[in-house]
Structure 1
């Protein structure tokens, strides 16, 4: 083979080799795409919201305006034993307004020092009918004054809270109380135990 022919052959072979090396291989169109599962999340699931707190148990907490509490209405078991729960009441402290004797329509000035109109919602949330009465069982106290009676017999109008409540029934009404001053605590007693206590606001 002549040198000229041999050079041509070598040049052709080198060209084919360079073309094969520089050509990018195309993916097989028929090959399926690989689907990878999503990466596992490292974040923890959100914590569940806590259940709402139950209403204040009997004698365990004092309420402020707008809050609701519960107490058990008890009665004797008839055998001289411990009282048994008859039904359950719910009370909401709606409003407290300090008034003069004239504003309250009272026949005389307050004996303790200050009249306050306390608006409550009473509801029977238990299984049996029961009565609520405020006469003689509400007391007022503050840091410097021991508990003393605050009930009055004067009505300021509107629905009467002192009535019998069937299960599910409720009444929103007003009580005129004679207290020693602004602020302090008003407590309702069911027998010897405190059923609920309300913190009166200061003007």
Structure 2
């Protein structure tokens, strides 16, 4: 038997079996009666159910906000971040080579205000986005010589330090991702 003849025969057998099974199922008059349901009312989510992706807390210069830091084991704690300052600098001001965009130095204070250890790890977890520019990594390993705030904090511990970013231009927003895909904080960058 040729391949196309065999395929046609299998198709016919499949249709015959499907039809036989369908004729054995109860008809609509044999089906048990159920009360009619109204499809006009929108489906209600149970109280406390997530309502989609949560927007991260926004911090502008001079302000403080908190987020929940979650480690790889699923343990979480509250972290407080104060956005002390932001300034745009030239490479010579910080002793670095020419950036892709421009350098921005942000000064932040990180404090563990929760009851468990929590980490703040800015390297590779900071993304910049502008009105007409897609989100992109702006992390650098450059340093101004201040404390390295990328570490694990025990409850009550805190530290202040600089983070040097390579941003495409002034303004926009820098999002911190505590976990991949989950925005934890959004730094509102100054336009000047």
Instruction: Settle same-fold status: TM greater than 0.5.
Output: yes
Match of 2:76 in 1: 86
The answer to whether the Cα contact below 8 Å between 2:60 and 2:189 also exists between their aligned partners in 1 is: yes
Unaligned runs of 5+ in 2: 1-53
Match of 1:172 in 2: 160
Shift of 1:128: 1.1
TM-score by length of 2: 0.68
Shift of 1:85: 4.5
Cα separation, partners in 2 of 1:89 and 1:59, compared to 1, 3 Å: farther
Shift of 1:163: 1.6
Alignment of 1:2-151 (within 5 A): 59-75=55-71, 84-106=74-96, 108-111=97-100, 113-151=101-139
Q: Measure, in 2, the Cα distance between the counterparts of 1:198 and 1:148.
A: 14
| 1:7-51 CA distance string (max 9 Å, x none) | xxxxxxxxxxxxxxxxxxxxxxxxxxxxxxxxxxxxxxxxxxxxx
| 1:35-75 CA distance string (max 9 Å, x none) | xxxxxxxxxxxxxxxxxxxxxxx743322111111111124
Q: Measure, in 2, the Cα distance between the counterparts of 1:72 and 1:190.
A: 9
Q: How many aligned residue pairs are there? A: 138
3-state SS of the aligned residue for 1:103? Answer: helix
The answer to whether the Cα contact below 8 Å between 1:141 and 1:184 also exists between their aligned partners in 2 is: yes
TM-score by length of 1: 0.64
Aligned-residue RMSD, C-alpha: 1.4
3-state SS of the aligned residue for 2:106? Answer: strand
3-state SS of the aligned residue for 1:69? Answer: strand
Q: Measure, in 2, the Cα distance between the counterparts of 1:150 and 1:100.
A: 16
Cα separation, partners in 2 of 1:135 and 1:76, compared to 1, 3 Å: closer
Match of 2:49 in 1: none
